Amino acid sequence: MQIIKTIKEINNQVVVLKKEGKNIGFAPTMGALHAGHITLIRQSRKENDVTVCSIFVNPTQFNDPKDFDKYPITLEKDMQQLVAAKCDILFLPSVAEMYPKGYGNKEKLDFGFLNNTLEGEFRPGHFDGMAQIVEKLLLAVEPTRLYMGQKDYQQAMICTELIKKRKMKTKLVLCPIKREKDGLAMSSRNVRLDKRSRAKAVEIVKVLRGVKRVVGQQTTDHGPRATASRRSTVDGQRIADIEQKAFKKLSSFPEFKVEYVAIRNAKTLRSVKVIDGKTPLVALVAAWIGGVRLIDNMLL
């Protein structure tokens, strides 16, 4: 695996690869790699000639400085995993190069609603910092395909918008969530969970599965004879009820401090009024446990 540490060097490499007509797959990460990240690398390898992974713990996307300080750094182990997964290039840029003018010069793209709801509401500024660094990385790597995990669902939606707004040619490939044996979504933050919190954290996916089960029932409940108007009022209420019940269920465990449980339109992330069996839906959760903030989601 080739290790590249400067933008100039990766740019030169990209020019050479493009001249040779090669496709580039790119998985941006903040390190502390786990099997979820490795699935991005593997998928990229299947679909591209060259796979690039970046590791950069981006200071501007941590709305909580304590979270930044505690973010696990495991570079040696990360590199071993990348070599084993046959990643071709590891891009390891420095803070000085990614932020030559300091952190203050944020030229913000306006993602509107997507930036203000759910994660945007609970982590103000997070997506501005994230989009800022992803843009810099995309300009440096110019990938044919960008690989992102479904666990950060809203992040991927914002990156799709970023690519559109900047008229980039990159195609975003969303990869399924990789889960631990008990169902907990893999996350770099999981290593910070103490034993008890780790055992309890599985309740998040259980709640999501519960929501999926209930929503599945709602769509078949009414049958073809239910009128559209009846269906919409009943379902609007039921969606709110399902969200509330799921929120209460997770909150009933004293270990959790739940931020949200939401059922949204999977394409727009807007609230849904009707479960019509056609609109794609996603359920999303954010909750604190043992001082660690976890997120998860499930397509319904």
CB 204 within 8 A of CB 250: yes
Of 134, 158, 185, 286, the residue at the interface with ligand PAF (CB under 6 A) is: 134
Query: Which residues lie below 8 Å from residue 259, measured CB to CB, with a gap of 6+?
Result: 122, 286, 287, 288, 293
Return the number of the residue (26 or 256) whose C-beta is nearest ligand PAF: 26
Looking at 24, 82, 114, 133, which residue binds ligand PAF (CB under 6 A)? 133
Report, in Å, the least distance between residue 137 CB and ligand PAF: 7
Closest Cα partner for 87 from 10, 170, 3?
3
Residue closer to ligand PAF (CB basis): 243 or 259: 259
Give yes or no for residue 58 binding ligand PAF (CB under 6 A): yes
126 catalytic, yes or no? no
Give the whole-angstrom CA distance, residue 109 versus residue 74: 32
Contact 42, 110 (CB under 8 A): no
Binding mask 158-197 for ligand PAF (x = CB under 6 A): ----------------------------------------
* Interaction of residue 152 with ligand PAF, rule CB under 6 A: yes
Non-local CB neighbours of 281 within 8 Å, separated by 6+ positions: 215, 263, 264, 265, 266, 272, 275, 299, 300
29 forms part of the interface with ligand PAF (CB under 6 A)? yes
Least Cβ distance, residue 174 to ligand PAF (angstroms)? 12
Burial of 211 (0-12, 13-18, 19+ CB in 10 A): buried
Catalytic annotation, residues: 37
Q: Which residues of this protein are in contact with ligand PAF, per CB under 6 A? A: 28-30, 58, 61, 130, 133-134, 152, 155
